[in-house]
Amino acid sequence: MTFPLAIQGLGIVAGFGSSNKDALQAIQNNAGPNASMQVQTQDGPIDYPVYAADPAPLKEFVSPKKLRRINKYSRLATLAACLALQDAGLDIPLPGSNIAVIVASGYGASTTTFKFLDDVILEGDEFASPTQFSNSVHSSAASHITILLQIQGPCLTVTQFEMSPVTALLNAQTWLKEKRVDAVLLGGVDEINPVLLYCYQNLWSGQIPKVMEPLDFQKQTAISGEGAAFMLLTRDEGQAPQYGYINKVSWENASGFELPKNNTIVMGADGHRVCGRRYSKMLQGVDKHNLKTFSTITGSMPSGQMFDVVLASLAARNGLMPDRFCSIKLNGDQDVGAVYVSSHSDLPQDS
């Protein structure tokens, strides 16, 4: 859908840190995985490299007392949401605001689901934890954002694997287009846990990568990442927003999709060989100098496209890449999620 969304603020927490300054440094230094996590396998324990994110700076925005029963999944999302609001110059909390919250996640609060199961399996059903249970739903991150930041507007959590960010953005466009809200606080969040790495080990066996090489389409080099990436979006209000505009968001069929010309392509390839082949096919004939990828600094995760859009917007604002780009994410053989961003609102406000 074509309807400009003004990007008023960005917030990101990932393996490289939790500020725009950290993000810019990571882009310039091509930061890699920052930690490891051990997984038990039939051949013994394996240390997997990961991009581990730390939500501790959330204490600067929210009283630690209020965070006691809140899981990492929700803390990551809330921290990125706070950073985006701060970046947009808004005070926190926001009672009485007409803001919507939209969260996209592939894995949801699965780590908390497993903690709930730990108690049940190891101790028995009577030890099921109500706190773990109520925090295990996908919507817990969005709910905690509304509670901690006192946002009383519409709230939506979407989970559609790699297409989660695109569907989240399409919903934001509809709400802003019909003036249902004044702004949308929108982001993606995913979290690593040992089960995920066990799946990596079993689904993509072979040598464990040390670095991600998303442009080498023949190799499986995905390394799991976690974190949250948020944006504060408004309608085009006539004043140039600091990060430009998301002019168009589209869910396309791969068979009929053509890459836009005169755009830098921010490629969602994230080291998975099977996806890499699809990206390779799509990018045939494209000048590699016109390609960017950010998965090498965030790691691989289903909500990765949100990180791509946030990091590319930040990089463009700071002169690290052209200010007109298109973020592309492939899902299976048939779906393409495309997000078109530029410093100008150069498209009509209709669909």
Q: Considering only residues 91-130, where is the footprint of other proteins by CB under 8 A? A: 95, 101, 105, 107-108, 110, 113-114, 116-118, 120-122, 124-126, 128-130
As measured in angstroms, the least distance from the Cβ of 329 to other proteins is 14
Q: Quote the Cα angle for 46-49-53, to 5°.
A: 130
Q: Choose, by CB under 8 A, the member of 152, 242, 280, 290 that binds other proteins.
A: 152
As measured in angstroms, the least distance from the Cβ of 154 to other proteins is 4
As measured in angstroms, the least distance from the Cβ of 99 to other proteins is 10
Q: Which is nearer to other proteins, 159 or 345 (CB)?
A: 159
As measured in angstroms, the least distance from the Cβ of 315 to other proteins is 29
For residue 88, what is the DSSP state?
Answer: T
Q: Choose, by CB under 8 A, the member of 57, 154, 260, 322 that binds other proteins.
A: 154
Q: Which 282-311 residues touch other proteins, going by CB under 8 A?
A: none
Q: Which 38-97 residues touch other proteins, going by CB under 8 A?
A: 40-42, 69, 95
Amino acid at 18: S
**Can you state the percent helix, strand and coil of the chain, rounding each to 5?**
35, 25, 40
As measured in angstroms, the least distance from the Cβ of 185 to other proteins is 12
Q: Which is nearer to other proteins, 28 or 134 (CB)?
A: 134
Number of residues counted as binding other proteins (CB under 8 A): 71
**Binding piece for other proteins, criterion CB under 8 A, among 17-25, 137-145, 211-219, 220-228:** 137-145
The DSSP bridge partners found for residue 246 are 5, 341
Strands (E) across 235-292 are located at 245-253, 264-267, 291-292
Q: Compute how many other C-beta atoms are within 10 angstroms of the C-beta atom of residue 350.
A: 8
Q: Which is nearer to other proteins, 105 or 293 (CB)?
A: 105
Q: What backbone phi and psi angles, to 5 degrees, belong to 121?
A: -75, -40
Q: Compute how many other C-beta atoms are within 10 angstroms of the C-beta atom of residue 113.
A: 19
**Binding piece for other proteins, criterion CB under 8 A, among 151-159, 264-272, 274-282, 309-317:** 151-159
Tell me if 94 sits within 8 A of 185, measured CB to CB: no
As measured in angstroms, the least distance from the Cβ of 169 to other proteins is 12
Q: Which 201-240 residues touch other proteins, going by CB under 8 A?
A: 202-203
Q: Which 166-195 residues touch other proteins, going by CB under 8 A?
A: 167, 170-171, 173-175, 177-178, 195
- Give the separation between CA 222 and CA 209, rounded to whole angstroms: 7
Which tokens is 69 given?
């029963």
* DSSP secondary structure string for all residues of 150-203: T--S-EEEE-BTBTHHHHHHHHHHHHHHTTS-SEEEEEEEE---HHHHHHHHHH
Which tokens is 184 given?
């949308």
As measured in angstroms, the least distance from the Cβ of 67 to other proteins is 12
